Structure 1
Amino acid sequence: MLRVLGRATSVNVQKVMWLIDELGLEAERVDVGGKYGGNQDPAYLAKNPMGLIPVLEDGDYVVWESQAIVRYILEAYGGDPWLPADVKARGQAHQWMDWYLTTLHPPMTVIYFQMIRATDANRNEKALAEAKEKAGQLWSVLDTHLADKPFLTGNTLNMGDIPCGCSAYRWHTLVPDGPDLPNLKAWWDRLNVRPAYKKNVMLPFE
């Protein structure tokens, strides 16, 4: 059985748990990180020296970094359509996964920390406003891309939708007054009716 170490409310853990549920795999998740702690314990650091979540254990095999975990699970247990058989579709899926990590994730992290983690006394309104503006511009790129397709690589939901899909819940919930992006909203609506998405992504913030 797969074992996921990380708290359920982490967006990085959510990527992994959403996929696991979509594939119908058995997995145990253990609360680590945040208010649960444990991620700086020697036993945990022996698994992931960065002390971050999540970590995936598959028997004696250990892998960390959420997107590496998603790719590993699909290589080991998934396959097409989540891991597209078509090499061009697979390349596009990798592209959007990496775009999320390098480009969209940074401003979305600022939004989350300023709105959820910061107190009124230490909230940086300037940083929050700048992050909202930047994220809105980036979500607009996705909106344009989705103008002629239901999912990021075409007609089929796959791994390319997972990272941005998890972040889309935070965007639509935390920034309801953001720019009007109808294609993005339609895409997100296709995700948020899925039981595995509701269960693993649409959770309270902490």
Structure 2
Amino acid sequence: MLKLYGTPPTRVLRVIWLLNELGLKYEQVPVELMKGEHHQPDFLALNPAAKVPVLVDGDQIITESSAIQLYLAEKYPQAGFIPSAVEERAQMYRWIFFLVTEIEQPLWRIARHTFVYPDEKRIPQDVDLARQECLEMVAVFERHMKERDFVVGDRLSVADFNAAYILDWANEEEMLGDAPRLREYLKTMYARPTAPPTIAVAFAAMES
């Protein structure tokens, strides 16, 4: 059986969504970051970078949430989550890379400098810079999605499941105020019966 290491509200949610969409059975192995479990030798043997999620599929060990999403979509092509035309695949990769580098990375910088790092390592100015950069790139993606139902082509792809998690994160940081199409798109994606918990719901579950 597939094993998925990680605990929400981390990027493990992206992988859970793909697993749900594909109807796959899997064992979820919790990894409590606040307890330092990602630095234990057994976990480091799976991912020396000490990051979640990690997917173990037989002898295959895959790290990086977007790579895991693509692996699952390619292994189970019947769902059609990877376009068959090379031109559309190129656009799917383009927007996945855009999302994780141009929108997710500033969000992660904000998280690091607001609650991840200890107080003495936080740089408030970087939060302001990251917020500005994120808003600029959200505006780019808003324009791309203005007249579209899906990130690429005329059907769901890995890019949509990737985008939904990142936009949920951006929404939690109040970055979508000037992006009505992205708010609508986000609502539509999380209305899917296979959608995982939102980041806010996952955080609430941790605190209960």
Q: 1:105-140 CA deviation, whole Å, 9 max, x = no partner?
A: 221112233445468887643322222211111010
For the pair 1:164 / 2:181, whether they are aligned, the reply is no
Counterpart of 1:58?
Answer: 57
Larger deviation, residues 91-100 vs 32-41? 32-41
Q: 1:27-62 CA deviation, whole Å, 9 max, x = no partner?
A: 111111412432222222222222211111112321
Counterpart of 1:89?
Answer: 88
CA contact (8 A) 1:2 1:56 kept: yes
Counterpart of 2:26?
Answer: 27
Q: For residues 164 and 25 of structure 1, do their structure 2 counterparts lie closer, same or farther at Cα, with a shift above 3 Å needed?
A: same
What is the CA-CA distance between 1:165 and the residue it aligns to?
1.4
Q: Distance in 2 between matches of 1:41 and 1:116?
A: 22
Structure 2-normalised TM-score? 0.86
What is the CA-CA distance between 1:141 and the residue it aligns to?
0.4
Q: Secondary structure at the match of 1:84?
A: coil
CA contact (8 A) 2:13 2:197 kept: no
CA contact (8 A) 1:152 1:161 kept: yes
Structure 1-normalised TM-score? 0.87
Counterpart of 1:203?
Answer: 201
Tell me the matched-pair count.
Answer: 204
Q: For residues 48 and 121 of structure 1, do their structure 2 counterparts lie closer, same or farther at Cα, with a shift above 3 Å needed?
A: closer
Please tell me the residue identity of whatever aligns with 2:155: T
What is the CA-CA distance between 1:175 and the residue it aligns to?
1.2
Q: Distance in 2 between matches of 1:199 and 1:13?
A: 11
Counterpart of 2:186?
Answer: 188
Please tell me the residue identity of whatever aligns with 1:195: P
Q: For residues 112 and 155 of structure 1, do their structure 2 counterparts lie closer, same or farther at Cα, with a shift above 3 Å needed?
A: farther
Aligned CA RMSD, in angstroms, stands at: 2.4
Q: For residues 190 and 105 of structure 1, do their structure 2 counterparts lie closer, same or farther at Cα, with a shift above 3 Å needed?
A: same
Q: Distance in 2 between matches of 1:48 and 1:117?
A: 20
Please tell me the residue identity of whatever aligns with 2:74: E
Q: For residues 36 and 8 of structure 1, do their structure 2 counterparts lie closer, same or farther at Cα, with a shift above 3 Å needed?
A: farther
Q: Secondary structure at the match of 2:197?
A: helix
Q: For residues 120 and 44 of structure 1, do their structure 2 counterparts lie closer, same or farther at Cα, with a shift above 3 Å needed?
A: closer
For the pair 1:17 / 2:16, whether they are aligned, the reply is yes
- Specify every segment of 5 or more residues in structure 2 that has no aligned partner in the other structure, as ranges: none
What is the CA-CA distance between 1:18 and the residue it aligns to?
0.9
What is the CA-CA distance between 1:153 and the residue it aligns to?
0.6
Q: Secondary structure at the match of 2:3?
A: strand
Q: For residues 201 and 28 of structure 1, do their structure 2 counterparts lie closer, same or farther at Cα, with a shift above 3 Å needed?
A: farther
